[in-house]
Amino acid sequence: GENVEQHPSTLSVQEGDSAVIKCTYSDSASNYFPWYKQELGKRPQLIIDIRSNVGEKKDQRIAVTLNKTAKHFSLHITETQPEDSAVYFCAATDSWGKFQFGAGTQVVVTP
Amino acid sequence: SQTIHQWPATLVQPVGSPLSLECTVEGTSNPNLYWYRQAAGRGLQLLFYSVGIGQISSEVPQNLSASRPQDRQFILSSKKLLLSDSGFYLCAWDPDDVSGNTIYFGEGSWLTVV
């Protein structure tokens, strides 16, 4: 089955700096890679996703890149703000369409 | 539009008591349904998933069970809770169209076993 590894587990950045979270996956047939943001005490919510036929996708201050050859994908947050503080999860769907989540990254943005 | 509802939002239960968490999805048919558990400060652990009525797959051995009595209803149960069952339980769904659909989570249920 699919195995997704996510790094780092915690990330502290100064407000205004960029944050990058990286994930690797094992199933070369995986074709969908969403990213979720979970604020304290709340449910994870989709913030951006990318499909295997695209190498990069951007939505305002967040972007995701995908390298299918290397089987890794990354989330980039630019000009970080305190409200970006949360836990971020990457995920990949295996060849059966089942989601496999990474372990999560706690992002702390300090003013 | 599709919505997912999950209840109760919080509950405190004594060890050995039963549990029932309920989840319903509206605005879609034949969704894939999931139950996840999240211990404090930890990741998302898949407990059960269902591709149709009466079809339940268990991901981890435990004292929990799941049922899907109707197309858009998913229930998580336990006959006797353990302290280790405490956590944040999330119901989720995705449309059963093609591989690569987004999972949407319910609001979650905080369970504290005392």
What does the radius of gyration of chain A's CA atoms come to, in whole angstroms?
A: 13
Count of all residues that appear for chain A in the document: 111
- Phi, psi of A83, deg, nearest 5: -70, -5
pLDDT tens digits along A46-71? 999 998 888 999 999 999 999 999 99
Measured between beta carbons, the chain B residues lying within 8 angstroms of A96 are 99
Which segments of chain A does DSSP mark as H helices, in order? Answer: none
Which residues on neighbouring strands pair with residue B6, listed in sequence order? B23
pLDDT tens digits along B49-69? 999 999 999 887 678 999 999
Distance CA B68, CA B57 (A): 11
Residue A40 token pair = 């304290």
Q: What is the pLDDT along chain B (114 residues), one digit of tens a residue?
A: 889 999 999 999 999 999 999 999 999 888 999 999 998 777 899 999 999 999 999 887 678 999 999 999 999 999 999 999 999 999 999 886 655 678 999 999 999 999
CB contact under 8 A, A34 and B43: no
Q: Minimal Cα–Cα distance from B18 to chain A, Å?
A: 24
Which residues on neighbouring strands pair with residue A92, listed in sequence order? A100
CB contact under 8 A, A101 and B44: yes
The answer to whether B105 contacts chain A (CB < 8 Å) is yes
Q: What are the start-end ranges of the E strands in B1-114? A: 3-7, 10-13, 19-26, 32-38, 45-52, 55-58, 64-70, 73-78, 87-94, 104-105, 109-113
